[in-house]
Structure 1
Amino acid sequence: MPDSLPQREHARWRLPLLALVVLLIVLVPFLLQRVADRRVGEAAAMVAHTLEVENTLQMLSAAIRNLEGAGLARAAGVDAPILDERVAYSEALIKPLLDHAEELTRDNPRQQVRMGALRTSLEERIVQIDRVLAAATEERQAEIRRLVENFPVQAPISALIQTERDILAVRNADAARVQRQARVLAWGSLGAQVLLILGLAALAMRDAGRRTAAEGMSRRADARAGVVLDTVREPIVLIDAGLRVVMHNAAFAELFGIEGDIRGTPLADAGDAWRDEETLRRLRDVLLRGRELWDFERQQRTVDGVDRVMLVNARSMALPDRDDLVALVTASDISAQKASETHIRELNRQLEGKVDQVSDVNRELEAFSYSVSHDLRAPLRHIAGFADKLGRHLGDGLDDKGRHYLDVIGGSAKRMSALIDDLLVYSRLGRSALRLQTVDMQSLVEETRAMLDANNSIDNPGHHVEWRIAHMPVVVGDDNMLRQLWTNLLGNAVKYSTGSEPAVIDVDHRAGDDGLHHFSVRDNGAGFDMAYAGKLFGVFQRLHAASEFSGTGIGLASVKRVVTRHNGQVWAESAPGEGATFHFTLPANPDARQGTPRT
């Protein structure tokens, strides 16, 4: 059975790793020993260096003493050629020895300082010796005393030698320590070699056991993968670079009518469905050009003779038992989905037609409403005018019943005129374009309240209204439409709270977390039954009798139209005898869309 991918990778690296371990066993101890030998050699060189410095200083001291002895003998009156040779020899030897000592002590700054002082003192001492030799007999004693008392040489040399001996002691200790470390390193390297060899043996034994276990697990994994692959109901096939079948699952064989083992045969032999040149070309690109095939839609005929819409996907992958890449190809039957999409498109097309029809009807209704409103004005003026003329013409001859008839005619004409005006406003709210600008809602509410208070003082002077208006924001909207909205809402609040004294009207605002402005108008008036709330914002819909409260039934419909055109929502809450609260929202961005308005 083929090995798993980790096992193959492990086998591929096993031999290089073994060679590396053997190399480490042989090379690392050798390198460590070389390092130890080098350190021992460096320690020995440092000891020799210290000894050389001491020897040079001893020779320099001897040369100085030889020079001084010869010079003092000459000063004492001894005249011998050997003394001149000693002076010349010492003078010739001192400078090279001094230079050599300075060169040897360059690694020690303190010694260099001492050498500088020694050189200065020595040069002065040689000059003084020359003065002693050149002085007259009566002056020699003074020059000799100056030579003895000044320009010390032996003390600095002794200090230099003592310092070098101290350094020598430290370096001898370092050399001994390095030698001990070298011996420990040698024994440690030997122990490491033994441990590495034992470790290799243990790893080899464990690897053999693991390989045996891995082969068993690989066989079981292959069997399990085969079962899983056959369980998948989506057709799957693996092909190589030559578009030959490597393996396939049961769903692939069932859908395309494959019998027997077709491994190694061209994919085109799997049925007419796979002989399409475009499909084969794209599969070659997946394997030869490293591309991926996603949602390639083709029509294929399956074994049952049905033409199905198949969605082909393919991508390259590596198998643990092959060195080349294969392509995993899946073929998904989306025939039902395509049929559903076609049906949905047809429904959408029909819906668009219905929407166009509704839009046409709405436009016709708007035009009809506008036309009727204008055409009705002249007859209404005639009715009202002639009723008034008739009343004046009859004068005192008109009885109470006739007077009542004329009053009904005039009142009906006025009510019809008001209805026409409201219809015109409602029509204009639907047809006119939005002129968006910044609107101060505080000013609109205050202006509307002032107008309503003035009208109320004339029409119903006994009705007192207490206003409670919260701080209103500045919004973006159509100023005229929003003015109409507040006129209708606040006017309704005043009208339907006539029976409550004093009437209390709350106008509130709050900013929602969803970026909406939430406005509300609450009164303590007559209220209404929420069972009829669905009719509240319809045209000509009234929840109270005309004899109880005047009105045309268009005001709240106009409110809804204004709010809807500003992409807002409007709804109401109430109970009979407990007042009503009308809510509406306006988005901070008037282009934002909201969901279905609440009722």
Structure 2
Amino acid sequence: MKKLPDRLRPGLPRSVHAPAAVVLVAGALLSLVLGTVVQAAQRRSADAAIDRRAVSAQATASAELQRYVDALRMTADDLAAGPDPTRAGFEEATRPLEYMRLRGATSIMFIASVPTGGVAEAQRLWRSRGATGLELTPAAGHDEQLFVVLRRPLEDASPSPLGVNVAPVAEPAGALRRSRATGAPAVSDPYVLLRDRTLPKARQRLSFVLAAPVTATGGEQAGQLRGWVVIGVRGADFLASTVSWAQRSDLHLTLEADGTEVVRLGREHEGMPYRQVSVPVADRRWRLTVGTELATLTGGGAHLGAVMTTAGLLVTLLLAVLVNVLAGARARAHAQVEAATAELRRTEAEARHQAALLTTVLDTIGDGVAVVDETGRFLLHNPAATAIAGTPDDMEDPADWQSHFGIFTPGGDPFPTARLPMVRALAGRSSDQTPMVIRGPARSEGTVVSVSARPLELPGGRRGAVAVFHDVTERTRAEERVRSSEERLQLLLDGARDHAIVMLDTEGVVRSWSANARRLTGYAEEEIVGRGAEVLFIPEDIVAGEPRRLVREAAATGRAEFEGPRVRRDGTRFWAHCILSAVRHADGSLRGFVMVTRDNSERRQAAQAIEELNADLRRLNAELGRRVAERTAQLQEQAERLRHANAELEAFSYSVSHDLRAPLRSVDGFAKMLMLDHSGTLDESGRRYLNKIRDGAQRMGQLIDGLLAFSRLQRQSMAFRPVAMDELVAEAWRDLAAERADRDVTLTVGDLPAAHADPGLMRHVLTNLLGNAVKYTRGREGARVRVDAVTGPGGRVVYRVADNGVGFDMRYAGKLFQVFQRLHRAEDYEGTGIGLALAARVVRRHGGRIWAEAVPGEGATFSFSLHPDSDDLPTTEEPAHDAAA
């Protein structure tokens, strides 16, 4: 600003300074208020950030602890369903835990309760069950001794010997007694392991145990306590691996159980904010404290309020000076005009700089950008758009865009001109992520792009449109490869009932060995894991390089097959059919192979036997009876082997379903964190996609829970006794009180004869049928449910559950009792499609049948009989009515 001439400086009236004073006072007040508001907003942002971190840590720790409890419950169920525990049975039941990566878990143990006077007898008993060298020593002053009689190390390289008596140790003994009283898993108070108490105080770390009772479920011992399954966990190792991001120097975590500190991670700092959350652990709730550096939180360490206040005061002071100058004299006004002219030049230079920057950005980004006017003439398109279009020539007529640029739908049809995103944008309608394929002479295979377009207001009141083209070819092909891999894996699992499944690494070395593989080849898992798969090939094929050829072919094409002789451990040969499938990572890189082998020896022998039988039949008709008997015996033996293979596959499916729940919880948890942290930066479409991800993960979790129940039901033993069906109906109706809340539902129970059945399983059937009746009468005024029984031919009892609900079309009744099959939309009626399948399986295990009859809009009746030999009830030849089909 130019200096005023001396002749203009004196003689200014005092009123000239009044506007500057008003500006100064008002600006100062406004700056103080604005700084206070911004400071408060920063504090709220920091509080929200620490809350999100606490919720994230709580969700992660809860999900991981629940996985430990699920593993414990699964092992207890396996030991409860079988005979008395032995060392071999315990090893088999706990084998899946080696692959579940239970970080911090030292070992899993079986603890037996022994009265003080029966220690010697218990020692002989458990030695006979495989606990070789077991030595039991009673503790004085305890009527009940609690001995570790079986143990499998998990992450403990040097486990303590068998025979440890935990009765004198209050913490684990208390957890055992609580789990026995409640019949559910329990967690102990934290304590120092007996083996660690000899270490220096600084090296001692707190641990805890999870215990679940093993109660016999069948036979004469039903309801009797066999002992406890116990998992020992080191608190520090567990939390460090579960919340791995807690190792950052700005974060502090503390896990406490009833006031006792289990583990502390990270360093505490002065002024660090904390949040405390509750974490469920079996039958207790522990407290997790999360602290973080204030400076690392959004708005936590900044002093934006003070900065804005200071800046506001400075701006106010400048405005006051400016007003004072403008109110001064004509010379000051002239100087201000010159300053404004200089500012205009600077603004013009900045505008040119911004235009150059925009041009540079458009030239360097990978997405294509194009702008057209109302006639379709291209005003702008960047190099990426030209590369995606495959031609540098423009076409001004929108009607010729499809043929000129070669635009097709993903299905291969020409893309309709009226639906082109740019055409829709010219008509005033926006488009988001429209998929299309651009195929031209330079791109015969086609480029898959996702196009978003918006209307655009051009200078002079003209209309136009802008479109962004994103090349998604590689992503689409990767998704197709993933879907192809999933389909192949599903086919592999569906056909695994009588197959041996082996996992190989990228070099063809065995990494996983199934029970069927051991039965088929004679090699135990510890003998074969780590060795090359060529050990199963005959010498002639090894010399010919057949094993390496299969690996190369599978790696190149994704699949390779082999049929021919294989060799067992004892040197005998069998005729095998082998499929080697490649397993790939999400990025397409090779992860390993799955080898499925089937013994076709019997099939070949059967074919040869049939040929010989047909030849001999014409000559030796008298030998027909003997040969038929021999063949029948062979088929019975083969059926028995198939039954064992089916049982092993069911156990495998149970384990796979169980391991899927942990990553699903992670998907749901991280989607929730993404919604909390970034919902403000996402548009409505992004938030809707996140909600769909969470809904899908939660529904998948429900389906997996149903599959676990479906698998567990097949293994559950049955205890038949006389059952009062009317009492079971009353108990099931009480269980459905929450579903009937605020509804007018009338239950009528007729005369129900007693049944000879398993009471627990039969209650499950009635609960499912009554629950369906309550659910599908929703929306009915005066909903009615009736349970009665009729006597069929031969004096057989048929139980019926009828309702006046929505009913269903009898053409689709065959789907009712199949897993995941539903006749109504999921958004209208909740459910997983497993309840009726479970009910049908229970009825079949009782030797009976279940069927349904309905009229759309008038209701449905479900009937079942517990007698297997009825000639007048629906049979397996009537799949539309009978679940036995």
**Same fold by TM-score, threshold 0.5 exceeded?**
no
Mark the structure with the bigger radius of gyration. Answer: 1
- Provide TM-score, normalisation by structure 2: 0.27
Higher strand share: 2
- Provide TM-score, normalisation by structure 1: 0.40
